[in-house]
Structure 1
Amino acid sequence: MDFNDTPAEAAFRAEAQSWLAAHAPAHELPTGIKLADTEEAARGRAWMRELYNGGWSGLTFPKALGGRGLSGIEAVIFAEEEGKYHLPKGPFTSIGTGMALPVIAKHGNDAQRAQFIEPTLKGDITWCQLFSEPSAGSDLAALRTKAVRADDGSGDWIVNGQKVWSSWAHLTDWGILVVRTDPTVPKHKGLTFFVVDMKTPGIETRPIRQISGMSEFNETFLTDVRIPDANRLGAIGEGWACCMTVLMGERLGSGAHRSGVEPLLALAGKTPAGDGSTMLDDKAVRLALADALAEEQGERFFQARLRTMVSKGENPGAMAGMIKLAYAGRQQKVLGLGMELRGLDAIAADPSDSVTPDLQYDYIYSTVMRIAGGADEVLRNQIAERVLGMPGEVRMDKDVPFEQLK
């Protein structure tokens, strides 16, 4: 495929660049300073509202639902230009736009689409993901949080269980939730998908203190939480299909819009090598940066190809995992290279240095991406079996009812 912009795409890119130049700088996050999570969340909502008011939110969603009805390629172009600014665009916003909205759009009904899509695009509703559990991480289908029908004839569901690694759950409005509704069938078949108001009685979030010093991850406990059947997405027992829609969106959206190498080129050019030259003059450094840039560009083009498939109604399937797998490893390697460029300053930065603290934080956080959204090992298995057609692993629990598993 041709990765160069067509005349129409070039005009759209110029329009996006012009709008972003006028509006994005006022929303950029400060360099070298970690904001309180409440302030970062407020800035995230403000940027989403700015995007919506400017007509740049939900580009691929129908106009009737608050979007612009554009193609996937145009969405990619805007994301590339937006990624050039340091904006409040973390999980606080992306879980809603990249995970909750795709599953609502595909598996929800008209009332649910009307209730959630436009308010989410405006920043009025924010989302968290209630998937992983202490005993169900990479093997998500092993989850134990269960939902049973209320015995009062209301049709409501009563949910009990525990979720973990719930990013921003302590500050978000709604959650996407997968639970077990039928333990008598194999584990992938007995799941059902809901959206849940995080202010519902019985929901408790406990922030987890991380090595980075931040606490955006949470444990989430659900005790006799009552969820109306109107909050169910898809049919009973079709929760796994909903999960796959969410995870494909998460993996396709992994990191390729913002270059990780271009800032390192600038950093190397500003870092003295001790003999009057800079680190960018070092041949070994230049080779490492060139290698990293080639990998980044290759992933960017492959991601554009898969997004084009989605825009045509095709399903990339397990190929979406290739994007996430490549990005997670590449991000950690590139950030490690950045730490090496800083030398001893990477360990103990000068108080006047506003760049290195961000680099340190990102390097520590990069380990998360080797697990979140599918661990490396799980994605390699999926790619081997479903893309390359290699023999599958032996799965002793494949056709066994969940209640019989030990």
Structure 2
Amino acid sequence: MVGDGSGELVAVRVADEEAERLIRRDPTLKLGEMYMDGRFILEQGNIYDFLAMVKQNTTNEIFDIPMAALLIGRIALQQLKSRLPVNRNKRNVAHHYDLSERLFELFLDEDWQYSCAYYNPPGISLEEAQVAKKRHIAAKLLLQPNQRVLEIGSGWGGMGMYLAEATPGLDLTGITLSEEQLKISRQRSKMRGLTDRVRFELQDYRTMTGQKFDRIVSVGMFEHVGIGNFDKFFKKVHELLADDGVMVLHSIARPKPSFATNAFIEKYIFPQGYIPSIGETLPPIERAGLLIRDVEVLPLHYAYTLRHWRERFVANKAAAVALYDERFFRMWEFYLAGSEMGFRWDELFIMQIQISKNQYSTPDNRNYIAAAETKLKEFEATRAPLEKVIL
């Protein structure tokens, strides 16, 4: 028995002794694997309920010597892999983002926003919160008509199209390493008549040359850069950003360095990803000769987002199983549940960092954000509805 009896009852069953031994030996990886394989079974409650109960009733200081050795080995391996000169970015991206578009359609909002929503005001729907996220970032970008904008990690095109439609004459280049996302982005841009000034390319940011952009935005991509590449990332930003330009970086962050990614996430979900702390992110920005103009922390907003995603995904279990299989469904349920737990109980959060080269590129107060959001709401009220993509 775990807990004081005051919470909801969670009952689990381990199917065999080997599964129990594997979980005890390496819970970070093997709990998820045994759940995927149907050998760790929830008799009452769901996997998030179980993970939250464990987190609230245990500490991280329970490692024995073999477990500690395993953790140190994983840290060393991930640190090495993040610094290798071999470019595996496209393969790593494809592992996750080139899954069937129909999978993501099961749980994302109508604009296919696969990053943290902004629940301001509290209690709004997922769709409203994703619009609020785009609005908040657009306000911080200080967009002006006819500017050139680069989006690093353009997803399914929703952010780029929002920025372009909100700003007269804006010319946007969105880059991605996902062929499936590229296909959808281009289709959506064509459907909305934006191909003359919104283009999406299969492009690694590291090989871009010879261009300058007035604005750069990156949402939910920095987590894939890898801790060994932070300096290279921001040096490239410095190279691509105009002298009076502004960048907004939106990324998951953690309260302190961890040096390695969760073993289950690394193996099954985001190979070679790494969630940085603010303290790990700011020094490379400064070393690149860039100025940090604003840092905002959004706590718990991703927990709310993930809760909505997980509930929608579970409600569409039959469709997910039909796309892949039961094991895949449990893998993604575990991923969504574990991620939500990370934001509710492990103090993960979203950081938004505004960056420039020139201290006069941004105002000397934050009042402009609310003013810009008010104007953007007026644009949203007249924006044409989003069309459904034919998959």
Asked if these proteins are the same fold (TM beyond 0.5), I'd say no
TM-score (norm 2): 0.27
TM-score (norm 1): 0.27
Q: Which has the higher contact order (CA 8 A, sep 6+)?
A: 2
Larger proportion of strand: 2
